[in-house]
Each structure stands twice: as structure tokens, then as C-alpha cells.
């Protein structure tokens, strides 16, 4: 069919407007489609044993209704429901999955023993899931069926989001969708090298000048690897912040106060220097910048430094230093000053753990996103750092492929890993744990005590006191989540929410329990002079001493103190914990578990938001996990963590389409000797600066 296009306007090329959006996907570029891998169990199982997950009752095999239908289908096609799925022919598998409009003869015996027969259409599992998803009347039902779906490109526009007639408009051989798929660096080259006639150049001059300037600003803040079409929801916090920063540079405003919260998050040292130059340029325009930051280079670039401390939580909150860098370096009261001046440091390991070539986890043929058919070996029983500039493919390799495969095979998760050929070496592992900085709970009722499980033991301890036994109190009496022991005026929250309509809600202490969460009778029970509310108010370090005689409780407290959370209150609301604190609560929970040395821990930039002293503690925790025989894999830019690793896998050389290759592997000392590796260059600088030849001996 010939394509017809009305008068061309800017809105014609917008997928957010009906004039240009693909009518099939409404401009989204994707649709939800059933993924067969997600709805099939172990292919060694037969249909009757439950290989078809949506038609199977947990542990009881097929639903009776579907068993009758499938028996009718098996009679027609001549196969057995007891044959393993893997051994069924492609024709039979296709008929079971997609239905193919088969009419089947169903027969069964009613409760009187009489044989009943009828003819029915066979829908197939895939159309059945699609129908259930579309017809779902509640979010819970929709969520249940969405477990078998995944986003796929729209079949009409192939993910381009626009109508065919809009995509037919080309500028130097590229449609607007083709141009949007370019990385920012590629787009800069494309718009810089456009060959235009004199007339075209005159028409496009103002627009091209604006496009080139904006691309330049985005590249200056280290985002050269991002695609123009990248969805905002998939950006990290640091990337979104740097896009806003680029917008401000482009505005050319002066006399503005900018507040930035850790703009260096997720940046490699190479890109970090570019970011600092951008910040200095913004300052040079006549603006003031206040930057919350832990990065050493950014602190060195600052004109004035305000150091808060001396420590965290109840031990912090004071201005330890306010002044230029030279004064901070001389201030012995400042932990930050100690690290910057070299009085304290995170030492480079003198000896590294031996790599056992026979115990390797190997990803073969990784080709997700920008990965170029790479194969990577992860040694087991050591600390491995995956490094590389932003957008080089680290997350694609570790999070999208390796972790997803491990979660599916070891934990039984229904996930679809990124494109790869195979992963080998899983026989040496029993469990995978992804330790991220997501909150440990999304409500004020969750806290370190409930998350680690130690609160159950504390409640049991209180129920065994003479006072509790005399009153007949069980452990449930000391929970603020159930009726009985909690304050009913606030339902155990300790606070009352006051809705302010057009303003944010305000929380005030409950007038009955005064924020203690429990009723008067429950608070009358004491252990060593303290009631349950007073125990929850204790800093964890104090609680560790308080419960020292009770080994089952003290073990939990000690691990929380070991990861540097001694200042956090035992009952502190999860919503008030930072990302780094939440991550350390998760690590402490893992540390106190009895380990068989067959677990693997995956961490994505665990040093985000951490001070030098926090990084030192984190490394102690990670090394504690490895010393138990476990494997730890971290995606990291922090050089203190990278130099402390036993093994490095460095990706690059650039971000986006210029990356996706393995540039170097080996010990930090070996990678420091690879001139093509940006990470290696910075490691070499670090080793030369510290001039510690003893540290250079690889174990």
C-alpha cells in the first residue's frame, strides 16, 4: 500500500501524540507477550507431572479439567501425558502451547461411574494466559498472570514507536527512529558531519546549533554511552541527575545556587574527571555549587569543605571542619581529613587468594545489549571485581546474564536471562544472593530487628520472664503488628497520620502510648530493668552488650556492629535507613547464617553513598564472607575496592557500542600493567602514588 502523509510538522515525529504514534502499541514500542520459558517447569517433567506451570496445582499435578482436555488432545495426536516434555515432538509441543484450533473429544466418569463425553475446542496454554491477563479484574490477578509475560517489541513498528509513513521520512538515509538509536557520541558525529546544500544549511542552522550544543553538554557530564531513545525509567539516579545538570549548563544561567547529591555515583574515574571539569565550568559562569560527596577527587576540587561527623547516627551531627582543603588535611579530629592526608588508609592486600582454575564459573557467548560474544570466567571462593567505564556492559554481564541464570537454577526464580550461549560451573554452588541498596522494608513497621529475625528471639526471651509467665503472655504479646500487646490507638505504629489534603501528610506521636507502640500492660514486663519498647530504642552497639549472655541474640547484634551499624537503633524504621545502611543490614543477615561455603553474593556498586571509613568496614564484611569459602562478585568503580579484589574482569574500552569487550582479566597488579585498560591506568597511578612494592606481589 502506498503511504500517505499529511503536512509534516514537529508533532508528526512524536510518539506521544496520536499524529505520529504507532496505532498498535500507542507509541510505547513494546507489548506484553507470553514467554514460553517462564510458563514451563523442568523439561524432564511430563505434562501429567506438572511441566505446564499455569495449569498445575502446587505439588499435585495437573488440574483435573485441563487433564481431561489434554487427554483428548493426546488421543487425537497420539502422544502420552506421561512422556517427558523434552521428548515430545515439536508438533505436539506447539499444539499444547498454542492450541491450533483443535477440536478434542473429552471423556470422564461422573460420580455415579457413568462415562460422559463431549467435544470441546482446545485453547492452548499461551492463549489461555493472554486471555486471563486481559480479563483480570484486580491488580492481584493481573500480577499473577504477568509472571508469565515479558515485554517484546511491538510487531507493527518493531519497537520504533511511530507510524510507517513517519518512519519513511529520511535525513541522509536515517529515519528519526534510526537517529534515536544512536549513542550520544554517535549522534554527535552524525549531526556534525551532515552534508547539506546551502539552502538546507540555512534552514537548519538554528536547529542544528541547538542539537549540537545539547549533545556536547550531555557528553561533558559523562553520558556519551547513553542512547537518545533510552527510557527515563531505566536511568540510574546518577544518570538522571547528570542529565538535569547538562540542562542547567545549557541554560547559561548565572547567580544560581545548585545543590547536587553525589553526582559521581556510577562514574568511572575517567568520566569523573570530566564531570568535575563541568562543575567547575558551571561555577565559572558565576554560580554557587553545594555538592554532597564522598569522592576523593571531587573533594580535592572543592574551594570550601564542610565535614560532618565525627561518626554516624547518634555519634554524628556535628560540624567537624569548615574551611579550605589545606586546613582539613591538617585537622586530626576529622576522619575525612585523616584519609585524605594519608594518616588513615585502606591497605592493599599483601597477599591475594589463590585462583583455582578448576573451580570457575564461566559465562560463554554473552551478547546482551552491547556485549560482543564475550566469554568471562569468574573464579569461585574469591572476591572478584567487574570494572569498566560507564556503559561498558558490566551490568549486562553480571546482572542480566550471570545473576539471572544463577537465580533460575539455584533459587528456582522464574527469570529470563540476557542473550548468551551457556553458563558452566554451577555444580559448586547452592545459593545466590543479590545484595542491593533497595530498602529492607517499605513501611515504618520494618526495622533491623525484624529484618534480621532477631526480634523473634527477643520476643521469646521476654515471654520467658517471670512477669510474662505470671500473666500468661506468649511471644506474640510483644509484637507491635498483632492485636493483644500493641497500642490499639495507633495500631502499633507509634504515630498517627494527619492528612493535610493538598500538603504532605504529617505524622505525630500517638497520644496514648507516646510513640512506644505497646499498651501499658505489655510495657509492665521487664528484662534486666528494660521493657520491650526501651530495648527497641537501644543503639545496636548498646544492645550487643545488653544481650551478651544470650548467645542466640548476641550473635545477630555482633554482626550488625561488625558491619558498622552499631549507631542504628534496633527498632529504627526501615524507611529512615540510607541505601548503604540497608545494604549492610542485608550483609549482616547473611554473615550470621551458618555457611557451607557454597553461596555466591552479587553486589552492584556497594560503595554508593559510603565514606572511606564505611568502605573499609564493607571490605571487612565482604572478606569475611569470602573467608567462609563463599564467592563475592562486585560491580565497582571505587579504586579501594578494586585494589582489594583477588581478581578483576575489566570491560570496555568505551561505553555503549564502543564497549562490550573484555579488555583485561587478572589480579589488580596484572590489570595495572595493561595500558589499554582505563581501570588499569588508574590502578597503576594508585600503586605508584602509594609506592608499596610489597603490595604488588600477587598471591
Give 279-288 pLDDT, tens digit per residue: 998 999 999 9
In 59-183, where does DSSP find H-type helix? 64-77, 90-98, 125-135, 139-146, 164-167, 176-180
Q: Which CATH entry fits the domain spanning 360-438+581-696: 3.40.50.1000, 3.40.50.300, 3.30.210.10, 3.40.1160.10?
A: 3.40.50.300
Give 388-454 as a DSSP string: ESTTSSHHIIIIIIIIHHHHHHHS-----PPS-SEEE-GGG-SEEEE--SS-S-SSTT--HHHHHSH
Say if strands 599-604 and 383-388 run parallel, antiparallel, or are unpaired: unpaired
Residues across the chain: 699
Picking from 541, 606, 617, 540, the residue whose alpha carbon sits closest to that of residue 578 is 606
From the CB of residue 24, how many other CB atoms can be counted at a distance below 10 Å?
A: 13
Residues 488/519, Cβ–Cβ less than 8 Å: yes
Q: Is the dihedral of CA 570, 576, 578, 583 positive or negative?
A: positive
**What does the alpha-carbon distance between residue 37 and residue 599 come to, in Å, rounded to a whole number?**
25
The pLDDT of residue 127 is: 94
Residues 380/360, Cβ–Cβ less than 8 Å: yes
The pLDDT of residue 248 is: 86
CATH class of 33-152: mainly alpha
Domains 33-152 and 448-539 share a fold: no
The pLDDT of residue 696 is: 39
Picking from 146, 121, 134, the residue whose alpha carbon sits closest to that of residue 54 is 146
The pLDDT of residue 344 is: 95
> What three-state secondary structure class fits 52?
strand
The pLDDT of residue 672 is: 97
CATH entry 1.10.760.10 includes domain 448-539: no
What residues of the chain score a pLDDT lower than 50? Answer: 692-699
> What three-state secondary structure class fits 341?
helix
The pLDDT of residue 529 is: 96
For the chain, the domains span 33-152, 360-438+581-696, 448-539
Amino acid at each position: 500500500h502506498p503511504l500517505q502523509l499529511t503536512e509534516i510538522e514537529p508533532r508528526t515525529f512524536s510518539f506521544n501524540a496520536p499524529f505520529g504514534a504507532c496505532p498498535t502499541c500507542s507509541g510505547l514500542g513494546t507489548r506484553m507477550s507470553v514467554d514460553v520459558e517462564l510458563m514451563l517447569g523442568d523439561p524432564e517433567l511430563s505434562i501429567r507431572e506438572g511441566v505446564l506451570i499455569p495449569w498445575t496445582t502446587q505439588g499435585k499435578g495437573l488440574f483435573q479439567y485441563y487433564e481431561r482436555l489434554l487427554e483428548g488432545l493426546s488421543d487425537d495426536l497420539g502422544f502420552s501425558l506421561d512422556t517427558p516434555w523434552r521428548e515430545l515432538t515439536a508438533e505436539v509441543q506447539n499444539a499444547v502451547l498454542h492450541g491450533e484450533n483443535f477440536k478434542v473429544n473429552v471423556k470422564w466418569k461422573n460420580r455415579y461411574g457413568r462415562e460422559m463425553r463431549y467435544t470441546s475446542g482446545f485453547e492452548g496454554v499461551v492463549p489461555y494466559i493472554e486471555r486471563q491477563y486481559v480479563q483480570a479484574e484486580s491488580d492481584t490477578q493481573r500480577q499473577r498472570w504477568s509472571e508469565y509475560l515479558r515485554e517484546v517489541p511491538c510487531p507493527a513498528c518493531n519497537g520504533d514507536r511511530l507510524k510507517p509513513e513517519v518512519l519513511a521520512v529520511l535525513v541522509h538515509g536515517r529515519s528519526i527512529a534510526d537517529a534515536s538509536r544512536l549513542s550520544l557520541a554517535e549522534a554527535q558525529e552524525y549531526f556534525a558531519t551532515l552534508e547539506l546544500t546551502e539552502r538546507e544549511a540555512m534552514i537548519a542552522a538554528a536547529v542544528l546549533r541547538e542539537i549540537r550544543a545539547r549533545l556536547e553538554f550531555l557528553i561533558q557530564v559523562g553520558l556519551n554511552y547513553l542512547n537518545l531513545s533510552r527510557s527515563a525509567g531505566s536511568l540510574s539516579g546518577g544518570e538522571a541527575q547528570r542529565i538535569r545538570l547538562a540542562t542547567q549548563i545549557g541554560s547559561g544561567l548565572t547567580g544560581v545556587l545548585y545543590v547536587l547529591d553525589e553526582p559521581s555515583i556510577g562514574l568511572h574515574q575517567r568520566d569523573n574527571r570530566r564531570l568535575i571539569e563541568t562543575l567547575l565550568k558551571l561555577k565559572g559562569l558565576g554560580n554557587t555549587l553545594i555538592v554532597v560527596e564522598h569522592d576523593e577527587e571531587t573533594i580535592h576540587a572543592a574551594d570550601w569543605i564542610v565535614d560532618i561527623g565525627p561518626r554516624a547516627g547518634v555519634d554524628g551531627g556535628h560540624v567537624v571542619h569548615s574551611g579550605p582543603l589545606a586546613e582539613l588535611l591538617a585537622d586530626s579530629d576529622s576522619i575525612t581529613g585523616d584519609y585524605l592526608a594519608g594518616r588513615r588508609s585502606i591497605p592493599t592486600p599483601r597477599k591475594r587468594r589463590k585462583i583455582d582454575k578448576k573451580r570457575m564459573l564461566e559465562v560463554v557467548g554473552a551478547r546482551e545489549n552491547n556485549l560482543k560474544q564475550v566469554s568471562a570466567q569468574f573464579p569461585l571462593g574469591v572476591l572478584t571485581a567487574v570494572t569498566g567505564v560507564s556503559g561498558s556492559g558490566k551490568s549486562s554481564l553480571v546482572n542480566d546474564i550471570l545473576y539471572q541464570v544463577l537465580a533460575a537454577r539455584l533459587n528456582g526464580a522464574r527469570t529470563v536471562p540476557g542473550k548468551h550461549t551457556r553458563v558452566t560451573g554451577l555444580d559448586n554452588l547452592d545459593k545466590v544472593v543479590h545484595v542491593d541498596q533497595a530498602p529492607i522494608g517499605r513501611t515504618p513497621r520494618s526495622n533491623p530487628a525484624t529484618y534480621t529475625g532477631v526480634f523473634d528471639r527477643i520476643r521469646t526471651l521476654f515471654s520467658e520472664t517471670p512477669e510474662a509467665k505470671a500473666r500468661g503472655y506468649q511471644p506474640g504479646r510483644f509484637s507491635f503488628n498483632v492485636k493483644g500487646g500493641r497500642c490499639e490507638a495507633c495500631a502499633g505504629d507509634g504515630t498517627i497520620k494527619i492528612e493535610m489534603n493538598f500538603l504532605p501528610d504529617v505524622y505525630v506521636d500517638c497520644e496514648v502510648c507516646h510513640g512506644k507502640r505497646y499498651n501499658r500492660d505489655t510495657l509492665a514486663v521487664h528484662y534486666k530493668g528494660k521493657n520491650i519498647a526501651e530495648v527497641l530504642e537501644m543503639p545496636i552497639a548498646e544492645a550487643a552488650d545488653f544481650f551478651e549472655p544470650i548467645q542466640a541474640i548476641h550473635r545477630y547484634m555482633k554482626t550488625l556492629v561488625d558491619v558498622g551499624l552499631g549507631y542504628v537503633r534496633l527498632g529504627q524504621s526501615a524507611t529512615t535507613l540510607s541505601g548503604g545502611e540497608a545494604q549492610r543490614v542485608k550483609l549482616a543477615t547473611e554473615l550470621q547464617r551458618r555457611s557451607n561455603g557454597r553461596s555466591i553474593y552479587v553486589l552492584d556498586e556497594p560503595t554508593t553513598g559510603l565514606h572511606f571509613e564505611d568502605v573499609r568496614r564493607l571490605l571487612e564484611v565482604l572478606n569475611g564472607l569470602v573467608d567462609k569459602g563463599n564467592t563475592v562478585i562486585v560491580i565497582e568503580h571505587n579504586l579501594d575496592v578494586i585494589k582489594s579484589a583477588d581478581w578483576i574482569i575489566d570491560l570496555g574500552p568505551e561505553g555503549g557500542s564502543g564497549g562490550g569487550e573484555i579488555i583485561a582479566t587478572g589480579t589488580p597488579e596484572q590489570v595495572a600493567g595493561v595500558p589499554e585498560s582505563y581501570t588499569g591506568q588508574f590502578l597503576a597511578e594508585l600503586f605508584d602514588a602509594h609506592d608499596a612494592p610489597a603490595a604488588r606481589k600477587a598471591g
